[in-house]
Structure 1
C-alpha cells in the first residue's frame, strides 16, 4: 500500500553537510569515480577504505570506520585483499557483501552477486548490523536488475541506495567506466546520464600518456567550496602472500595539480610515426650493450634527456618487440630487454642452456645472473684452434654470479634438467665445445656469456670463453 503524505518545511530540522573526506566524498549521498580501465579508480577508493579503517580520514567521522564492498570485477583473494594489505588496511573493518542463493528443489546453495533493487533490504540490514559508514559498488552497473543504459533502470536500482545513504548517514561510492571517444567529461560515463545525475560528487580519472602521470578531477561537486584536480602515483608495495613477497599496486603521493582530466581525454592524438621511428633507433642502440637489459626507470630518464616522452618510448618498445620482466629482488624492478634476448626479433633454434658447472644452480626466488649476447653467428666449419688456457676456468662461486634470463627454464623447485650442450674441460684444462670440440680459454669475466651455433646446426653456450681475442663463436 502506498500512502501520500505532506510535511511542512517548518517541521524539518536543518543540518549542515557532512563529509567522509572533506570536500571530496560527502556523507548521506552518492559519489562516483569514473574513468577507463586501469586508471586507478578502484585502487584509490580502496585506499580511502584503508585510511578509514585506521581512523585517518579528514572529515566529519571520528575514529576508525567499517567499509562494505560490493564487488564482482576483481577477485578478492588475488586482487582486493592484497591491495587492501598494500594500503595498510585493518582487514577486520573491511567487509565483503554478496548473496547466497538456495535452490529449494536440490537443497544446494551458491554465491551470487547482489542485485538492485532486489537486495536493498538485505543490504540495509548488513549495514546496520556491522555499523558501516562507507559502501563501495565496483562496478556499479553490474548490480542493476535491468539495462544500465536506461534512465529508469538506473534510477530504480540506485535511488533506494541514495535513500539508504540519507537514512543511515553513509557515504556511497560508485565505480563507473568511461565510454569510447572524446567529449564532455560529464558525458563520458558509460550508459545513461542518470549515473551522473544521481551523484553529488563526481571524480573523473585519466592518465597523461605523454608524462605517464595519473590525475583525478572533481568534475561535479554540489556541496564542496571548490573543484580541483589531484595528481597521484600508482606504486608497487611488497606484500607477504603465501610465504612469498609480492609487489602489489597502491596509491602514493597525492598532490594538488593544475591539470584537468578534460584536457587529457580531449587532447588531439598526433600520428607520431617519425618520433616513434627515431625513438626506436635510440632504444635499440641503448639496449644493444652489456648486459642487454636495463631498468625501465633508467631508460625513461635517459630517453627524456634525448627528447623522447615516456609515451613515445612505450610505443617504440611495443613496435620493436622489446620484452619486459620484473626482477625477483626486493624491492622489485622492471627491466626492458633487447629483442634478441627474448627472441622477438632474432629467431633462435634453441633457448640457451645453463652454464657447465653442475654444482651451480638457481634456487626458487633467487635472482638469476646470466647475460646472453645479442648476436649469434653461423659458421659451417668448426676447426680446433689448439689454444691452451691462460686463465683459470670459472669456479662455482663465479658461475653463481652469472645472470640467467630465461624465466621458463626449470630451477630447483622443478628439478634441474640435464644440459646436453655444456662446455667441457679436457685433461689439460682447456675448455671446449661439447659439439665441435674447439678448445678455448677462459677470459676471466664472469659476466660474459656467448651463445653460438655449431656447424651441426645446434645451439650451445659457454661462459667467458675467447678465441683469438674474440668471444667464442664456432
Structure 2
C-alpha cells in the first residue's frame, strides 16, 4: 500500500497517493450522531474527467463507504485498491477530528502563520467572516443585499473603488417570497441568476442553527469550484437563524454566533446577517441600537448600518436619500459613508460619499440631552435594552458593565425611571426562577393614555382612573384593586393598551 503525502491548506486536507490519484477532504468534524463526517473529492489525473468521485460521507458508516467505493470503481476501474485508500483516509480524518475536540494547548506567536485580511468589499465587508447589515424597517436592507449579491455574481464595480470578486451567492430568507420579490429584485440589479442559490421561507427551517450548520456548509461547498472561492451567504433576518436562544442574553447569542464565525473562516465564505435596529430611537450609543443584545455586534467583524439621511427633508419619505456606513469595522481603516436611493422598481442607486456620521444617522430626530450625566447615559442604556420588554436583571448588569456603566449608576437610573423588578419562577419551587426588569407605566408611548381616555368617552363606558398609569379602567368591578387591566398584567410598555381596551369593550 502506498503511503500518501498529506498536506493541508485553509482547512482542506489533501492525500496524494501518486500517479495522479488524490483525495481532498473538507469540512472535517465529529458529529454527535453520525460520527466523523467530511466532504470528499477523489481525483485521477489519468481520466478524462479528473474528478471521479465526490460525496458528503459519514466515515464510520459502512453503507456510505460501500456506495462511494462502488461509484469509484464504476468510473475508474483501473485502480485496484480504492478500498484501502479510503480506509487510510478515514482513519487519518478520525484522528484529526479527535484532536480538534481536545482542549487547545495554544501556539507561540512566533509560530503563527500570518496572512493579510481578505476583503469582499475593501474596508467595508471582510471576506471569510461574519458581518451584520442593520437598519430600521423600510430603509432597503433586503434590496441592498440583492444589490451586493448581483455585484458579486457578475463581478461588478463597487461604488467607491475596485471590482467585486466574481463569485457565487446563497440567499436564505425567512421573510421575502422568492418568486415575486427576491428573484425580480436580483434581475433588476443585473445579477447573473445562474450563480445565485435561493432558499425561501418554506425551506429555510433546515438552516436554523445549530443543526443548520451542516446543510449550510454543504451548500457553500457545492458553490465553490475550489477551496476558498468567493461565496456570499445572506441570512435574512439573522435572529431567526441563530436558533432557540434568548436574544437578550449575551452568553446565548455568543454561543450561537461563534460556530457561524468558525464556519465562515473554515470555508472562506462571507456571511452577512440582516438585523433590525431596536425600537429605542432616543438611544445615543450607536452600538446598542443593533438587535436585542450587544453580543451580535461583538461577534461580527463588521457591522454596516443604513438609514435615512438626516440632512434630506423631502416631504415624501420614499424620495429621501439614504446612508450606508460602517458602525464597526476593526479589520481595516474606516471609509466614508455612501449615499443611495431606492428607485422604482426597487433598485439601489449609489450617489457618492457623505460626511454623515453613524451617531447622526441613528439619532436623527431623537430628542437627547447633550452633555448628560452618567445617570442620563444609564437611562438611555436601560430604555434601549427594555424597549423589547422584560429582560433578566443579570443580563442587564452584564451588558451595563461591558458598556462602562457601574451597578450603582444603573440602579439609580432604574429608580429614576420607575423600572419594575419582578421574579419569574416555577410555581411551588422555592428559590426557582430569575429576576427580570421592565419599563414602568410612566414610559407608555406618547399619547397612548390620552387615546385610551378618548376611546372610553366615545363609547360612554363607565370608567375609573388607574392608580399606576392614570389611564382609564372601563367597567371596574365592585372589588377593584385600583389597577387597570394593562398594569395588573405587568405588560411591557410597548403593548398597545388601546387595542386591548377595544377588545374588552
Q: TM-score, normalised by structure 1?
A: 0.49
Q: TM-score, normalised by structure 2?
A: 0.46
Higher helix fraction (1 or 2): 2
